[in-house]
Amino acid sequence: MKQAIPTEPKKLQKRAQIILAAFKLFKDNGFYATGVDLIMQHAHVSKRTMYVYFPTKNDLIVAVLEHYRSDYEAKLQGLLARSDLNSNEKIMAIFEDASNWFLNPQFHGCLAVNAMGEFVGKDVNIEHACRVFKAWELSVFQALACGLPVRDPHGLAYKLLVLLEGVGAIAQVMRQPCPIDIKEMVNCLIESHCGD
């Protein structure tokens, strides 16, 4: 018989505590390399508490991926809500912020991409959480591209996502500043969708 997850505020704080500890460890070390014992130690919880909230490590990984998306979404909301910026400026701001993050020593690549790399074909729930994250990222670019005077805004949105993912993957591997002007590449992409 499954045990009900407590819903009291203090209990929810424990759940969040576990997710945040696992989030940092998964980012820094990867998923397979991070054991449940290490997560419990960093979250300051017992094995019993851990398994009340997350019966399996994979359940925790799904929760961490959901946290990753909601955290990124919350950070972008301020930018997306700004009425003093047009869609083009918001797109540029996303790439500028990402470029700065890619140079941070704490950057270890996109957590969703890393999870898909470790779990593709092994856990459908983790795969689904990764796809939800990427679909959400694409939807942000689609909404912004629809605010531009361009042909095929959905095609443009996909290209912008591909550019962002590519720059992030290269930054993860190369560990050095990008030698090309990303804003110029974004402008070229947008311009290629303008006109007749």
In the chain, the domains with their CATH numbers are: 1-55 (1.10.10.60), 57-192 (1.10.357.10)
pTM of the model: 0.85
Percentage of the chain exceeding pLDDT 70: 93
pLDDT in tens, 156-177: 999 999 999 998 888 888 877 6
pLDDT of 140 strictly over 50: yes
Structure tokens, 187: 């402008």
Residue 34 phi, psi (nearest 5): -105, 115
Give pLDDT, residue 182.
Answer: 85
